[in-house]
Amino acid sequence: MGDPEKSTGPAAAGHGTSAPGTKGRAALMLGALGVVYGDIGTSPLYSLQTVFSIDHGTVHPTHSDVHGVISLVFWTITVIVSLKYVTLILRADNDGEGGVMALAALVRRVLGDVRGRAAVAMGVGVLGASLFYGDSVITPAISVLSAVEGLKVSTPGLSHVVVPVAATILALLFLVQRWGTHRVGSLFGPVMLVWFASLAAAGLAEVVERPAIVRALLPSYAVEFAADRPYTAFIAMGAIVLVITGAEALYADMGHFGKGPIRRVWFAVVFPALTLNYLGQGALILDDPRSVRSPFFLLYPHWARLPMVVLATAATVIASQAVISGAFSVSRQAVRLGYLPPLRIKHTSPREIGQVYLPAINGILFAGVLILMLGFRSSSRLATAYGMAVTGTFLITTALFLVIARVAWRWAAWKLALTGIVVGGAEITYFSANLTKVTHGGWLPLLIGLTVFTLMTTWERGREIVTAHRTAKEGPLPEFIEKLHRDGVRRVPGTAVFPHPTKMTTPIALRANFEHNHVVHEHVVIVSMVSENVPYIPVDQRLSIDDLGYSDDGIVHVTVRHGFQDHQDLPAELRRAARLPGAELRFDPDRASYFLSYGALRLTRAPGMRRWRKRLFLALARNAANRAESFALPETRTVLMGSRIDL
């Protein structure tokens, strides 16, 4: 891969073929502001409030504590976001795509056939993706709830409606997912631009009145705070990590906007606005220690608090939308990489392939978010559960990045060590600090992550076992074709298409059709949909055709290569294959019949996987999406045929 800056894929131009112009760059920057920075941009709502409310006042609104906390906040954002994600991690793109699953796939690719290491790297990536689901459940709940809680500050008489209003907003948010975000996506950027402007304005006004707070930007205050009160600083760091929730979105959404717009927006808008707002909240707390109960909303004059509740609610809805969309994208990547069963995927935009809707994931997330909100009932209580998933994902991303830097970029040992000590050391500290919250709710994202990890690894292992047993039943395809030629089997008019993962074995549906009906169609097309460890495959590189040794028997094999972000449409690929010059595919894909191979799974005591995991695999298989729908096959021309397979 060489120079990391030369390894970028289409992200630099938003998957286009040329660099965007000035207007295009501005549009990408505005879009990045709306989607990428929603989560981290709404952290000021609850982060400092949580820091000063932990353990009944462990952190006090005194000069030393406030300056120490603000210094820790600033340098946490600087090291984890500005240095790690914006400067380093964005350079590690998988053909323009980011996110922990894409990074793990990239690591597996650069490690090649190094025995065992690629599998370990992929397992670590799956763990990171699993933890991301824990974040995806907590983020909408804590974000929207913290925004609506502003009603208790602006209009105390409405305190009793906070939870019902927040639940209603989230219900509407999950309800509209089926229609996609492309219709309202253009509003996200302007809303978040107003949001960050309000953060900066309120913070700047307070800093101008009390400029001494600016000294808190010096790292010496963080060092003194940790040295004078090490236990308090350690506990505080478990809450300070809330200021960088959503940092993973910088990397996960790289494919949508490109690293350039994301970097420019961070340094020009988001980082200055967040810094000013946190400085302003610190100055306010020093001036009025009672403001620790809600330093964000109390930073604004009384007349502006209710409008800020409305704006904050809009911003948190956008932040929630971003993490929900991220969960959809991660789920689709996991399906393509073989770690989740086929799920029903609906593309919600005719132009943007990345905008998808997964009904099953949407329903699970909504149920989890609603249960959390009704169970915890306040953002401060929810904050105790936050942090474990975030810091765990941070550590995994750093570990995978260091592998890329060593193997692909040939970084020197000192450079790897320095990055590991500065970035990894900070993340280990934050992860350790959050371990103290495990018994107070921190177990929740860990439980979610462990559950998802178990599901993913069970499906991947079960799929391996079933594939091995199915391969034994299928038998070699060359021998089957030789038998057809040798025995002179009767051919009937029409075209039969058999989706099948390889050309080495015979599709079960083809063998079953021959054994039961004693005929073979005039045209037989065996199609293998091959998922690559890259997000996208160019259209002109997707197809390859093999006549399987006989050019006149009407039996061909078509390989369709696709990335884990590409849409699978088998009939469309066959139409493209039929138009290839010299392909000589003499059939009409729009009149073909599609035969899906079906294996009726039977639970046995055979070794390979524990019995409870086999039952879990069977449950997942029964609830998998219809493969005809996954391949976009026409329902009226699709036939299911197969045999029994032992598990």
- Condensed to tens digits (0 to 9), the pLDDT of residues 521-560 reads 888 888 888 877 566 788 778 888 887 777 777 788 888 8
Query: Do residues 592 and 575 touch, judged by C-beta distance below 8 A?
Result: no
Q: Indicate the pLDDT class of residue 183, thresholds 50, 70 and 90.
A: low
Q: Indicate the pLDDT class of residue 591, thresholds 50, 70 and 90.
A: confident
Query: Do residues 121 and 107 touch, judged by C-beta distance below 8 A?
Result: yes
What single DSSP character describes residue 97? Answer: B
Q: Please determine, for residue 148, whether its predicted confidence score (pLDDT) is greater than 60.
A: yes
Give 523's strand partners: 495
Residue 54 to residue 117: CA distance in whole angstroms: 41
Residue 30 to residue 186: CA distance in whole angstroms: 9
Q: Indicate the pLDDT class of residue 255, thresholds 50, 70 and 90.
A: low
In this predicted structure, what is the pLDDT of residue 36? Answer: 81
Q: Please determine, for residue 353, whether its predicted confidence score (pLDDT) is greater than 60.
A: no
The residue written with tokens 């995991």 in the block is 613
Q: For the chain, state the CA radius of gyration.
A: 27
Q: Please determine, for residue 186, whether its predicted confidence score (pLDDT) is greater than 80.
A: no
The residue written with tokens 């045999």 in the block is 643
Query: Do residues 41 and 323 touch, judged by C-beta distance below 8 A?
Result: no
Instruction: Please report, as a single letter, which amino acid is at residue 200.
Output: A
Q: Please determine, for residue 266, whether its predicted confidence score (pLDDT) is greater than 80.
A: yes
In this predicted structure, what is the pLDDT of residue 218? Answer: 94
63-76 helix and 230-240 helix, angle to the nearest 10 degrees: 50
Query: Do residues 93 and 8 touch, judged by C-beta distance below 8 A?
Result: yes
Q: Please determine, for residue 97, whether its predicted confidence score (pLDDT) is greater than 80.
A: no
The residue written with tokens 């219809």 in the block is 626
Distances in Å between the Cα of 291 and the Cα atoms of 41, 48, 299, 313, 431 are 21, 11, 9, 21, 28
Q: Indicate the pLDDT class of residue 56, thresholds 50, 70 and 90.
A: low
From 10-24, 75-89, 287-301, 493-507, the region with the lowest mean pLDDT: 10-24
Q: Please determine, for residue 24, whether its predicted confidence score (pLDDT) is greater than 70.
A: no
What does the pLDDT look like over 394-431, one tens digit per residue? 899 999 999 899 988 899 999 999 999 999 999 999 98
User: Which structure tokens are listed for 287?
Assistant: 């001036």
Residue 62 to residue 506: CA distance in whole angstroms: 74
Query: Do residues 84 and 92 touch, judged by C-beta distance below 8 A?
Result: no
| E strand map for 103-161 | none
In this predicted structure, what is the pLDDT of residue 564? Answer: 60
In this predicted structure, what is the pLDDT of residue 6? Answer: 38
Average model confidence (pLDDT) for the chain? Answer: 80
| Residue 243 φ then ψ, to 5° | -70, -15
Residue 135 to residue 244: CA distance in whole angstroms: 12
In this predicted structure, what is the pLDDT of residue 175? Answer: 81
Q: Which residues contact 630 (CB under 8 A, 6 or more apart)?
A: 342, 344, 345, 568
Could you report how far apart the first and last alpha carbons of the chain are, in Å? 41
| Residue 353 φ then ψ, to 5° | -65, -25
Residue 346 to residue 632: CA distance in whole angstroms: 11
pLDDT more than 70, % of the chain: 87
Query: Do residues 529 and 507 touch, judged by C-beta distance below 8 A?
Result: no
Q: Please determine, for residue 57, whether its predicted confidence score (pLDDT) is greater than 60.
A: no
Instruction: Please report, as a single letter, which amino acid is at residue 43.
Output: S
388-407 helix and 425-435 helix, angle to the nearest 10 degrees: 160
Q: Please determine, for residue 17, whether its predicted confidence score (pLDDT) is greater than 60.
A: no
Q: Indicate the pLDDT class of residue 16, thresholds 50, 70 and 90.
A: very low
What single DSSP character describes residue 537? Answer: -
Query: Do residues 481 and 167 touch, judged by C-beta distance below 8 A?
Result: no
Q: Please determine, for residue 349, whether its predicted confidence score (pLDDT) is greater than 70.
A: no
Residue 472's CB: how many other CB atoms inside 10 A? 11
Query: Do residues 635 and 628 touch, judged by C-beta distance below 8 A?
Result: yes
In this predicted structure, what is the pLDDT of residue 13? Answer: 35
What does the pLDDT look like over 103-124, one tens digit per residue? 888 888 888 765 567 778 788 8
Query: Do residues 320 and 249 touch, judged by C-beta distance below 8 A?
Result: no
What does the pLDDT look like over 362-373, one tens digit per residue? 888 888 888 888
What does the pLDDT look like over 472-505, one tens digit per residue? 777 888 888 888 777 777 888 888 888 888 888 8
In this structure, whether the domain defined by 4-441 belongs to CATH 1.20.1740 is answered with yes
User: Mean pLDDT, to the nearest integer, of 181-200?
Assistant: 79
- CATH 1.20.1740 intervals, the chain: 4-441
